[in-house]
Amino acid sequence: MKIDYFESKKILIIIPHQDDEIHLAGNLIASLKDTRNIYVAYTTSGDYAYNASVRYKEAIKSLWKLGKIKRENIFFLAYPDQSYEATNHIYTTKGNYISAKGHSETYSPSPKYKTFNYQLHNEEAKYNKENLEKNIQELILKIKPEIIICNDLDFHPDHIMTSILTEKALGKILKSEKDYRPKLLKSFTYENCYFGPDDFFEQENEMKFQTDTSGNLISNKYYNIQDSLKINIAPKCYTKNLFTNKIFKAILKHKSQNLVSHTTRMINTNQVYWERNTDNLLFNTQIETSSGSQEYLNDFVLTDTDNVLNGNKVPIKYNKGIWIPDNDDKEKSITIIFDNKEYVEYIKLYNGLINSNYIKEIEIRLDNKQAERYTLENNIINSISIKSNVEKIEIKVLDNECLNGFSEIEVFSKSENKTDENEEMIKNKTNILTKLIDKSIISLLIFTQKVYRKLFIRL
């Protein structure tokens, strides 16, 4: 996908921590000629290990190096920065939360860093996930971006929270704002970047993702590697000459995080995203079910969990946000009613991630026509061609027992446009002398930044 598509577009980047701007969108920002309409929002204060003011300064300097992002385009939502192994987390806490630092509400480490909630409402927000979701929703509506870029289900709890709450916030907007349909691009900050392969000195150092035999990502099975959007970025983002590399210059601004030690993992020859289609016709329809939690079927959230912790040690169980019909329900039905007749090209059914006991047999009736029976493939997502003008769609599950269900249903009026621009591989050659110089520079900076952190950075 050509970088030109993003030029002059209003883009909002939503991320958890101050340094994730490099991981998730550094190449994109640094490749754009016009960055006046780039906005960046950090959902946490980044204060788990270091003072929030330290993290904020580093982020502002990093964004300036990447693309001269204006200070007024940078927002700090300032919810707690939390670790993998905490005993609890704001996302799974009922009611208000108190952070490890003793804070119970958003705060500004100095007057020049007003929180987003304070800017809007002249007061701070209590720490709870409902307020964070509300702030994300308010931010999107304030900016009305054409493109939203957000991290997906990285294994850090703050990343999982940011991903899911952004989808929840956008889902509510898509239901209330019928004429607003931004493009949402999701990707990962750890797998291909911070903890990615150490391949900077290899000839081919594209972003890489772990997949199963079907090409579905291990990090999020709803995404297939074949559906990825590879953005062709500017050479100044991946040049082996570190003195002129824009990503490296941004990396150096995050002294508190020792990012320089991850340089050879973080610099890649492309930026990769997956698009969440926001044109689902179900956002403006009435849905009824014979049992189960019908609200999950069109909330725009693909999955949810009741435990976001310890993802660095064990896989997160995504066991929530699924419509599962009751086993004693004789109907096991979903009824979709449009306000007017709508042309439906196809339906996408998303199985839940709770287990692999997917629904096998369904029946679909369009208006008052005869129902058609479908045997679903053992895939995480099944697409069914409709190609008809309809006012009502009835979906009936024929399985006797349901141990899983649908996490989302999408109904579209036109086929998805598949990009054909993803085949180009950039050959990023290096020579022995450049390699030796770069390694020496990185080693020296790792040492000097370690000393700097001990002497000058406040915890």
Model confidence pLDDT, tens digit, residues 309-340? 999 999 999 999 999 999 999 999 999 999 99
What is the C-alpha to C-alpha distance for residues 333 and 298, in angstroms, rounded to an integer?
Answer: 15
Region 36-47: mean pLDDT is 98
pLDDT of residue 421 exceeding 60, the answer is: no
For residues 443 and 437, give the distance between their C-alpha atoms in angstroms, rounded to a whole number.
Answer: 10
For 295, residues 6+ apart whose C-beta sits below 8 A from its C-beta are none
The label of the residue with tokens 């725009």 reads 300
Calculate mean pLDDT across residues 84-99.
94
pLDDT number for residue 424 = 62
Indicate the average pLDDT of the chain.
Answer: 94
Q: What pTM was computed for the model?
A: 0.95
236 vs 31, 66, 245, 443, CA distance in Å? 8, 11, 5, 22
Helix, coil or strand: residue 55:
helix
- Using one digit for the tens of pLDDT, what is the confidence trace for 263-298? 999 999 989 999 999 999 999 899 999 999 999 999
Positive or negative, the Cα torsion across 67, 29, 190, 154? positive
Cβ-based burial of 98 (10 A; exposed 0-12, middle 13-18, buried ≥19): middle
pLDDT of residue 423: 44
Q: Is the pLDDT of residue 121 over 80?
A: yes
Q: Is the pLDDT of residue 19 over 60?
A: yes
User: What does the block give as tokens for 179?
Assistant: 């004429």
Residues 357-365 have a mean pLDDT of 98
Residue 419 has pLDDT above 60, yes or no: no
Q: What is the pLDDT of residues 366-402, one digit of tens each?
A: 999 999 999 999 999 999 999 999 999 999 999 999 9
- pLDDT, residue 418, reads 62
Domains of the chain (ranges plus CATH)?
3-278+426-456 (3.40.50.10320), 281-412 (2.60.120.260)
Give yes or no for residue 430 having a pLDDT over 80.
no
- When pLDDT is cut at 50, 70 and 90, the band that residue 451 belongs to is confident
Question: pLDDT by residue (tens digit) across 221-251?
Answer: 999 999 999 998 999 999 999 999 999 999 9
Which helix (H) or strand (E) segment holds residue 420: the answer is none
Give, in order, the Cα–Cα distances in Å from 166 to each of 40, 89, 189: 14, 17, 16
List, for residues 144-195, the tens digit of each pLDDT value: 999 999 999 999 999 999 999 999 999 999 999 999 999 999 999 998 888 9
The crossing angle, in degrees rounded to 10, of helices 52-67 and 20-31 is 20
Longest dimension (CA), the chain: 76
